[in-house]
Amino acid sequence: MISIFPTLAALSAAVADRLVQIAQTAVSTRGRFLWVLSGGSTPEPLYRLLAHPPYRDQMPWRSTVAFWGDERLVPPDTAGSNYRQAADLLLRHTLIPKTHIVRMRGELSAEEAVHDYTKQLTQWTTPPRVWPRFDLVLLGLGSDGHTASLFPGPISTAETQQAVMAAAADYGDRPAPRLTLTPRVLNDARHVFFLVAGGEKREALAATRAALHQPMKWPAQRIHPDDGELHWYVDEAAASVNA
């Protein structure tokens, strides 16, 4: 499903409305809301909205558990950290318990960080499952078609066999060494939302959503929930409505 909005502000408000509904339903049916956050600039207005009334007061923060889809391998107090971005803009303004902030430890080596996050995931589920079934995954889309830290190129064994893997890619001025959840985990979610805004995303968005399947070239095509809802929240500039 795709919804197109005139501005990123309108897109963010629509996502906030739906996110609150999903969170409330998850908590009333399963007792907790397992939410995977994304990095990048696109979710920033959403995080700001959720940090303030009315959304802040509608969210079941005490029953919310925050995970990340990807992280840059930098310490959590540095500017490139996805954790720090979400903490500063959102989490520190809420009642989410500290023990419910399940961050990827970017201060570790890639190998240690993969091992650490894999272990943290198992702690939020019941064996034989090795990762939780997330209620909602937020994802962005790079102008090169990447999502989370799944970048163009061959699909590695780690990507098909692990829950968490290391990655390295240059994208803008962002740190290259990264950690990411793999499609195995992301596609298991109940809801996956892509947030895409800006004319520089136009080609990647069109190619990703096209019938031609080229997942090595357009990595976001690797995301197709097995038994969940995939919803594209897109602004007009990215959708080329007026192009």
Contact 196, 42 (CB under 8 A): yes
Q: Which residue of 147, 182, 208, 221 would you call a contact of ligand 6PG, by CB under 6 A? A: 147
Q: Which residue of 56, 133, 174, 224 would you call a contact of ligand 6PG, by CB under 6 A? A: 174
- State the binding string over 39-78 for ligand 6PG (x if CB under 6 A, else -): xxxx--------------------------xx--------
Nearest Cα neighbor of 137 from 67, 46, 50, 210 is: 67
Contact segment (CB under 6 A) with ligand 6PG among 19-27, 106-114, 146-154, 203-211 equals 146-154
For residue 41, the tally of other CB atoms under 10 A from its CB is 12
Q: Does 228 bind ligand 6PG (CB under 6 A)?
A: no
Q: Which residue of 106, 140, 183, 228 would you call a contact of ligand 6PG, by CB under 6 A? A: 140
**Spatial CB neighbours of 158, under 8 Å, sequence gap ≥ 6:** 165, 166, 182
Contact 234, 197 (CB under 8 A): yes
Residue sitting closest to ligand 6PG (CB): 140
Task: Find the shortest distance in angstroms from Cβ 140 to ligand 6PG.
Answer: 2
Q: What are phi and psi of 101, to 5 degrees?
A: -100, 100
Contact segment (CB under 6 A) with ligand 6PG among 10-18, 38-46, 58-66, 224-232 equals 38-46
Contact 192, 230 (CB under 8 A): yes
Task: Find the shortest distance in angstroms from Cβ 128 to ligand 6PG.
Answer: 29
Task: Find the shortest distance in angstroms from Cβ 143 to ligand 6PG.
Answer: 7
Interface with ligand 6PG: number of residues (CB under 6 A): 16
204: amino acid identity, one letter: A
Give dist(CA 222, CA 213) in Å, integer. 9
Nearer to ligand 6PG, 32 or 72 (CB): 72
HEC letters along 132-177: CCCCEEEEECCCCCCECCECCCCCCHHHHHCCEEEEECCECCECCE
Binding site for ligand 6PG (CB under 6 A): 38-42, 69-70, 82, 140-142, 146-148, 171, 174
